[in-house]
Amino acid sequence: MKIVEDLKKIIIDAGKKLDLQIVESDIKIEHPAAVNFGDYSTNIAMILAKKDKINPRELANSVCQSIRLSNNQLLEKVEVAGAGFINFYLKPEFLIKEAEEINYEIEFRNKLSENGNGKIMVIDYSAPNIAKPFGIGHLRSTDIGQAIYNIYKILGWNCIGDNHIGDWGTQYGKLVAAIKKWNEKDLDELTIEDLEKLYVKFHKEAETDEKLIDEGREWFAKLEKGDSEARKIWQKCIDISLIEFEKVYELLGVHIDFIHGESFYEDKLEEVTKEIIKKGITKKSEGAVIVEFEKMPPAMLQKSNGTTTYFTRDMATIKYRLENWNPNLIIYEVGVDQELHFRQVFETAKLMGWMPDQGMIHIAHGLIRWTTGKFSTRKGDTIHLSEVIDKAMEKASEIANKSVVDKNLTATEKEEMIKAVAIGAIKFNDLASDPRKDVIFDWDQIMSLDGDSGPYLQYTYARCKSVLNKSKDKEQKNISEVPQNINNDEMALLKEFYKFEEKIIEASQRYSPAVIAEYLLSVARKYNEFYAKNRIIDQKEENFRIFLTRTTASVIDTGLNLLGIETIEKM
Ligand code: ARG
């Protein structure tokens, strides 16, 4: 946030001339809500005036007067407004320089990468459970997690994505029991749907047959002891599931650096349990070992039968990550229903002295809901990701037949477009609101070509590309000269570009890809307003307008890329 830093310096320097000691941390700089209040604004004069009991407007005036504008690269004017706000107006030359930088992608990326400066971040995301089809809840974790990974990466962090797949625990004893009892197929022929059915059947039957639960427990005990039959069946379930998950990742265009399922930590659990007990933060309770906390319920480290828990495995996971990667930050992209679990995990890591509290973040994402309520079928069954994707493909094909869409697409182009639009639309819906909020799943809005949607951004990008293709200046990344009269539509658009870096940084600090999603929508809206009112090709302003078009395309391309969404050249 170079600009904000520069503005702070300008204010401090102006203060010095007035014999005012201004402390940097007192200066708050924001974008005013309305354009006629400038590009940035600060209330520092009001804060200082309050301290010294003087008139804030007068003080603001003196600060403004001592800011030197001649030779200033950044500012065109400064003004006092309201009760003593100081408003800053950026120079068009500066705005253009910022836009040019975005067009020279390497320069822009170099500048961005100075932010993280090689710090290390581990992100735990996606993490589906084996023997179940990939669900919509894990889709959220995957989409948001991947976007956050991309955002930190572009900011120069070393990012490590780790997929903490659920493949261990009593439930897999139950699954083995169910396979032993009811499966009639050859193990090699089992599908993920079969596994889900068997697991559901197990729970249904267990309601009337209590012995089953014991059988499940016995099979898990066998699994833990390394019984070869139990292991073979369990491994098969993993293999089937991973193939399925891989297909989903491929379709979504997601790549996660590592898969360390919960079972990966099996041989590390004893040691971690001992270490935590030795620290003296545990207590025996009815044969089990628990960690107690001051302000929340205890966590179970070891069950009374000696087996470990999800909590134990998460403790071993932190230790492994710290020892292997030495991260500055660990982010968990997991649903809000696990809020307590992660508070317990983080507090324990802190008590153990492994990791300071602020080094661990749980992005507790909210639920996906229909406008009418819970996200499930009419019968109340869960909706699988594949059904959602099929439906999105269908809707995207409808878009492909709309009159606004390019009629000259080849069959392959059309196919690519349908896939990119379908996947992009679903992802954008997931990413466009703050992760902590619930998301409403409304097909009309998700697929809308003129609303706040993925397809709208893809369409705007393709529009820019089509304009560029008509111009002789299309390859030009900068402009020949700064125009004398920039009209309102041009200015409104030009004033979006310098904010791009700020928005990427803000998204990282708030762990919210929505900051970027909203920004892209705002850029696209400004472009479309400009496009509706101004001719571009063969006008005397063509050079500048093509420059604006080109920058819009660059911003949308880079921005959608960060969100893990593809752009399409023609649409
Ligand atoms: N597999 C878990 C679930 O679906 C999520 C795991 C999240 N990561 C973690 N380190 N606990 O509920």
* Residue bearing tokens 């539509």: 489
Distance 126 CA to ligand 1 centre (A): 8
Ligand 1 pocket test: which of 123, 130, 164 has the largest number of ligand atoms within 8 Å of its C-beta?
A: 164
pLDDT at 473: 86
CA 299, chain centre distance (Å): 29
* Residue bearing tokens 């080849």: 410
User: Atom 1 in ligand 1: which residue has the minimum CA distance?
Assistant: 166
pLDDT at 474: 85
Q: For 79, phi and psi rounded to 5 degrees? A: -140, 150
Is the Cβ atom of 124 under 6 angstroms away from ligand 1? yes
pLDDT at 284: 97
Local confidence pLDDT in tens for the 571 residues of the chain:
689 999 999 999 999 999 998 999 999 999 998 878 999 999 999 999 988 888 999 999 999 999 988 888 999 999 999 999 999 999 999 999 999 999 999 999 999 999 999 899 999 999 999 998 898 889 999 999 999 999 999 999 999 999 999 999 889 999 999 999 999 999 999 999 999 999 999 999 999 999 999 999 999 999 989 999 999 999 999 999 999 999 999 999 999 999 999 999 999 999 999 999 999 999 999 999 999 999 999 999 999 988 899 999 999 999 999 999 999 999 999 999 999 999 999 999 999 999 887 899 999 999 998 888 888 877 777 788 999 999 999 999 999 988 888 889 999 999 999 999 999 999 999 999 999 999 999 999 999 999 899 999 999 999 999 999 999 988 888 888 889 999 999 999 999 999 999 999 999 999 999 999 999 999 999 999 999 999 999 999 999 999 999 999 999 999 999 999 999 999 9
* Cα–Cα dist 64/88, whole Å: 10
Is the Cβ atom of 127 under 6 angstroms away from ligand 1? yes
Report CA torsion sign: 478, 484, 487, 491: positive
Is the Cβ atom of 129 under 6 angstroms away from ligand 1? yes
Residue 249: DSSP 8-state: H
3-state secondary structure 138-167: HHHHHHHHHHHHHHHHHCCCEEEEEECCEC
Is the Cβ atom of 317 under 6 angstroms away from ligand 1? yes
Distance 457 CA to ligand 1 centre (A): 32
CA angle 122, 128, 134 (to 5 degrees): 135
CB 431 within 8 A of CB 509: no
User: Atom 5 in ligand 1: which residue has the minimum CA distance?
Assistant: 127
pLDDT at 292: 96
Q: Which atom of ligand 1 is nearest to the CA of 317?
A: 10
Q: Which atom of ligand 1 is nearest to the CA of 310?
A: 11
CB 400 within 8 A of CB 420: no
Distance 271 CA to ligand 1 centre (A): 22
Distance 50 CA to ligand 1 centre (A): 50
CB 174 within 8 A of CB 164: no
User: Atom 11 in ligand 1: which residue has the minimum CA distance?
Assistant: 314
Burial class (CB in 10 A: 0-12, 13-18, 19+), 426: buried
User: Atom 8 in ligand 1: which residue has the minimum CA distance?
Assistant: 164
Distance 125 CA to ligand 1 centre (A): 8
List, for residues 417-470, the tens digit of each pLDDT value.
999 999 999 999 999 999 999 999 999 999 999 989 999 999 999 999 999 999
Distance 165 CA to ligand 1 centre (A): 7
pLDDT at 358: 83
Is residue 326 left, alpha or beta, with left meaning phi > 0 and alpha meaning psi from -120 to 50?
left
The residues, any chain, with a CB within 8 Å of residue 213's CB and separated by 6 or more, are: 174, 206
Is the Cβ atom of 559 under 6 angstroms away from ligand 1? no
Calculate the alpha carbon distances from 174 to 208, 232, 377, 398 in Å.
15, 15, 26, 44
CA angle 552, 556, 558 (to 5 degrees): 115
Q: Which atom of ligand 1 is nearest to the CA of 129?
A: 1
User: Atom 6 in ligand 1: which residue has the minimum CA distance?
Assistant: 127
Calculate the alpha carbon distances from 535 to 385, 480, 539, 541 in Å.
43, 19, 7, 9
Residue 384: DSSP 8-state: B
Is the Cβ atom of 314 under 6 angstroms away from ligand 1? yes
Is the Cβ atom of 166 under 6 angstroms away from ligand 1? yes
* Cα–Cα dist 8/28, whole Å: 9
Distance 334 CA to ligand 1 centre (A): 6
Element counts in the chain: helices (H) and strands (E):
21, 15
Provide the strand spans (E) within 224-268: 258-259
Q: Domains of the chain (ranges plus CATH)?
A: 2-90 (3.30.1360.70), 169-255 (no CATH)
3-state secondary structure 315-353: HHHHHHHHHHHCCCEEEEEEEHHHHHHHHHHHHHHHHCC
Tokens linked to 176: 């083995």
Is the Cβ atom of 167 under 6 angstroms away from ligand 1? no
Is the Cβ atom of 334 under 6 angstroms away from ligand 1? yes
**Which secondary structure element, helix H or strand E, spans residue 463, and what is its range?**
helix 454-469
Calculate the dihedral angle through the C-alpha atoms of 329, 335, 339, 342, rounding to the nearest 10 degrees: -40
Distance 487 CA to ligand 1 centre (A): 52
Distance 296 CA to ligand 1 centre (A): 20
Specify the amino acid at residue 393: M
β-bridge partners, 300? 290
3-state secondary structure 71-97: CCCCEEEEEEECCCEEEEEECHHHHHH
Ligand 1 pocket test: which of 260, 315, 338 has the largest number of ligand atoms within 8 Å of its C-beta?
A: 338
List, for residues 167-222, the tens digit of each pLDDT value.
998 899 999 999 999 999 999 999 999 999 999 999 999 999 999 999 999 999 99
Q: What end-to-end distance do the CA atoms of the chain give, in Å?
A: 35
What DSSP line would sit under 400-447, residue for residue? Answer: HTSTTS-TT--HHHHHHHHHHHHHHHHHHHHHSS-TTS-EEE-HHHHT
Tokens linked to 262: 């919960």
Burial class (CB in 10 A: 0-12, 13-18, 19+), 113: middle
Name the residue among 459, 470, 469, 475 with its Cα closest to residue 547: 475
Ligand 1 pocket test: which of 129, 136, 160, 334 has the largest number of ligand atoms within 8 Å of its C-beta?
A: 334
Distance 187 CA to ligand 1 centre (A): 27
